[in-house]
Amino acid sequence: MTHSVLHINASARHQDSVSRKLSAQIVQHLNPAETVERDLAHGVPLLDEVWTQATFTPPNDRTVAQAQALAYSDTLVAELLAADTIVIGSAMYNFNIPASFKAWIDQVMRAGVTFAYTENGPKGMLEGKKVIVALASGGTPIGSEFDFATPYLKFALGFMGITDVTVLDSDGTTALTKAA
């Protein structure tokens, strides 16, 4: 049994989403003691100037606006830090992850929080976590030269120290649905 799971859904589709169904089955199989659900389909704030300035300002010196700009990011980071395993259900749109999922990565990839700059270069601070990605594509073969999602996710997660990443391929889902 897994202690704590962060379950992220990044598909814009709900009822007919293959990645949502597959990721839910993965979470059920893991049988975690605690699950936190995060649905990115409703939007994730994009980074702006206030957010960026806030990340370069020591916490005690931040303005009210800067603290407010980082509040959502702080919530997402806390969810990520608390999880032993992260299960991600994501579609592949136009050869990559959905924009809301990219925005989530932008919100959690924070210097001094999820990675650090060292004398030897960047070092991830989230080591020891496991990620399982249920990636659904309507026609782009996962792992092909057209799949930018898998290498991007592995790089971004690895940059934060998460190197135990499993991508479950459910590509061709549109073709399977049409054939049924």
Annotated binding site: 11, 17-19, 92-95
Instruction: Give the CA distances from residue 14 to residues 40, 80, 115, 158, 164, in Å, rounded to whole numbers and listed in that order.
Output: 11, 23, 32, 28, 27
Phi, psi of 42 (to 5 degrees): -85, 0
148-162: b (≥16 Cβ within 10 Å) or e: ebbebbbebbbbbbb
Quote the CA–CA distance of 30 and 169 in Å, as a whole number: 18
Residue identified by tokens 């309507």 is 138
Q: How far apart are CA 27 and CA 4, in angstroms?
A: 10
Tell me the binding residues for FMN.
11, 17-19, 92-95
Q: SS3 for 60?
A: helix
